[in-house]
Structure 1
Amino acid sequence: MSDDAKSPDGSAPAQEPGQIATRRVHTGRMVALDVDTVRFPDGSTGEMEIFRHPGACAVVPFLSDVRGEDPQVLLIKQYRYATGGWLYEIPAGKLDGDEDPEVCARRELQEETGCTAARVERLTTFFPTPGFCDERIHIYLAEGLTMGAHQREADEFLTVETMTLSGALAMIEAGEIRDGKSIVGLLFAAGFRAGR
């Protein structure tokens, strides 16, 4: 039994927690919604609404040497209907099927900013909303950028902006960058630099 399956007190549950049954109630372009009957760690059962998502990648693109003095990064400012306005973000997008996350990160960087990267490095993978969604976001750092033409999708309304990493971190502190994946990516990139 894995440590994840143990009760908080370390004892083994009466039965393994997990899915008993599932029912698909919606399939959309971005997500599917399942209603799962689940067994909880204490042995009780209940229903959970779970959004199924194929996963996504996001990339922190550095225009100048990541190890240099206060390097420049690219951010996008994108209209997000769900939040009611514009958000500063790092380039990101959904995985296509069983696409390799690094391939997705490179594709999204090119589609949204027009840039290709000589090097990408994985920073972390995290669950942005584990209470009701199985989405994983893979975060990458990109450097050695070459500018080109973007290939944005029809529903992407965005501008590309250049700023220093310290400026982006100040925007996080001021509450001007509010997108979770972008906060995680920029803070990881800053930590990566600190370990240079």
Structure 2
Amino acid sequence: MTRLTQEMLYQGRIFDITREQHRMPDGRESTFEFLRHPGGCAVLPVMADGRLLLIRQFRPSIGDTICEIPAGRLEPGEDPAGCVRRELVEEVGYHAAGLESLGFIYSSIGFCDEKIYLFVATDLEQTETALEPDEFIEPLVVDLETALAMITAGAITDAKTQVALLRYALNKRV
């Protein structure tokens, strides 16, 4: 597939929207609209006793509070590990001495190029939070089995959180 044209429809603070003409593998041409995102990072903080630090955060896009892991958008030129360390301090008030990659996911490839890097943070040291004015976050500490049961029960519906928890659980059992 080859991109033939790209038109900027919207340029925003968080994402851009483009309309693109592509030549398909069979030679036909098709038009698509894409949400272009700089990417993000998400982190599963693991406390010294093995329990996990999740958050409950109000998300205006769905008009509800959701259980998830701390996460944030990559700033221009920022590396994923730096983003995770920044978000961990901002959202839950912890520095992490240990950081392990859980790989990455694409959030919704049908219309968006957002790539989310997933990490596990260990050896946590508490500090002050630095919430943004529009963030309303409540910490939730649970053990792994409870977190997995919350996925099964539909209490954790956030995709990045489900993937991070499941990858973490699989890594622990291997």
TM-score scaled by length of structure 1: 0.87
Q: Deviations over 1:68-108 (max 9, x none)?
A: xxx20000100011112010010000000121101101111
RMSD (Å) for aligned C-alpha atoms: 0.9
Look up the match of 2:3. 19
In structure 2, give the amino acid aligned to 1:19: R
Look up the match of 1:11. none
Q: Confirm whether residue 49 of structure 1 aligns to residue 28 of structure 2.
A: no
Q: Confirm whether residue 118 of structure 1 aligns to residue 97 of structure 2.
A: yes
**Paired residue secondary structure (2:108):** coil
Look up the match of 1:189. 168
1:18 and 1:130 map into 2 onto residues whose CA distance is 17
In structure 2, give the amino acid aligned to 1:78: Q
Mark the structure with the bigger radius of gyration: 1
Look up the match of 1:6. none
**Paired residue secondary structure (2:61):** helix
1:124 and 1:42 map into 2 onto residues whose CA distance is 33
Look up the match of 2:17. 33
2:69 and 2:146 map into 1 onto residues whose CA distance is 14
Q: Confirm whether residue 153 of structure 1 aligns to residue 132 of structure 2.
A: yes
**Paired residue secondary structure (2:146):** helix
1:153 and 1:98 map into 2 onto residues whose CA distance is 21
1:42-81 equivalences in 2 (<5 Å): 42-64=26-48, 71-81=50-60
Which runs of 5 or more structure 1 residues have no equivalent in the other structure?
Answer: 1-16, 66-70
Kindly indicate which of the two structures has a greater share of residues assigned to strand. Answer: 2
> 1:64 Cα shift?
2.5
Contact map agreement 1:64 1:73 (CA 8 A) in 2: no
> 1:18 Cα shift?
2.0
**Paired residue secondary structure (1:96):** coil
Q: Deviations over 1:26-48 (max 9, x none)?
A: 01111000000111122111110
TM-score scaled by length of structure 2: 0.97
Q: Confirm whether residue 90 of structure 1 aligns to residue 74 of structure 2.
A: no
Which runs of 5 or more structure 2 residues have no equivalent in the other structure?
Answer: none
Look up the match of 1:129. 108
